[in-house]
Structure 1
Amino acid sequence: MENKRPLILVSNDDGIMAKGISELIKFLRPLGEIVVMAPDSPRSGSGCALTVTQPVHYQLVKKEVGLTVYKCSGTPTDCIKLARNTVLDRTPDLVVGGINHGDNSATNVHYSGTMGVVFEGCLNGIPSIGFSLCNHAPDADFEAAGPYIRKIAAMILEKGLPPLTCLNVNFPDTADIKGIKICEQAKGCWTNEWAACPRLSDPNYFWLTGEFTDHEPENERNDHWALANGYVAITPTTVDVTAYHFIDELNKWFN
């Protein structure tokens, strides 16, 4: 590997054949050496899941100057663990997930396999970023996101990120992006989450679906508002989930 250039490890949850990861590779290539290890098929909604009941297999797909691509039978998190421990000869300077087909704003961050990539990098002390676009279509247009992706990735390569902190970056589905907003995670929840799809006279089959309800729709600081109004939403996200504000109160209950 070309040790003089930054090493960027890339994965996703839409699978190795998704347009989003191909576009991400294209946008990042000027910034360093790229190694990709991505699931061999879609793993959307897998969060930080690990494969623990069977072996995980990877296979070289392509190797050229500055770019090596592998596909993996495991989850997005498996991909990062496997790449770090088997194919890389040094620690990545940056871990990047995406570009996801569909946004990962608000509570979606907890379910997202794209952010599972990012959390795994972050937990290992590597600056990590997730990129997502508010468009689920297989042929979504990612071009407007390109300059922002290069700018954000270059900035993090230069400046790094604090310990246990990563970035969740979401793009509105528009060619006319208004700029960047640094956001907080929108507070809300999913409703109407299941649609019946009976099979062979058995009514107990359902497709996961749903509608997101923003509990603070007028809050201009949250990522949901930023996306709805044409801005790139950058949400600094921590993998330390300790509720520090509740420690003193909880001590009063039990001490």
Structure 2
Amino acid sequence: MADGRIPAERRRRKPTRSGVLLSEDVIVDCALRLVGQHGPDALSVRRLGAALGCDPSALYRYFHNTDDLLLAVADRIIGDAMAGFEPDGMPWRDALREMALRIHRGYREQPRVAALAAYRVTRRAHEFRAVDAGIGLLRRAGFSDADAVRHYSAFVDTVLGHAALDAAHLALPVERREADDRAWTGVYAELSDAGHPHLAAVRGVLPLMGGSSFETALELVLAALVAAAPGG
């Protein structure tokens, strides 16, 4: 099938050994939980089968393979993030900002999945609606069809790139994450003025490097879009 879905007639109708009635949503729920607890290696039919109390082969009635499942997991994150998003009546810039914040927050809440899936194209319903909404907002801003598509690609890649970066940071062991954050007040603060004059000049504000730059990058992209929009 074009969207990768398994035909309904191939899906399981009886509960598993543990009493779970399998469905795509149940399997995605389990995959999100396992990856969140154990990391990317947990996304295997063996681990999923054990967690759901079913033979691993039963999962192939719903998903072609683990990559197909990963795309469904990514699409769930998009769907949950965009639930309740109503851009009609909002200024297009404000609607794009809310869309970006929602998607970024959705992936930050699932950091171990974000590292696997933020850069993928899910080819599923939630992504379809999100892309349609984003391009629609840029068309509403007055951009040509081609420019709306190009600018949406740059916008959403900025959002997803930062989502993956921030999620990867969150997924680090605590001691490594804290060591990275301390670098800006530690080794960077100790660099010589002669060897690194510009770092020395901004030494007092270097801790700003320790946080996420997502919102700053988002505002820069939005400002550029407003400046370029035919309607101003």
| TM-score scaled by length of structure 1 | 0.26
Greater radius of gyration (CA):
2
Please identify which structure carries the higher strand content. 1
Please identify which structure carries the higher helix content. 2
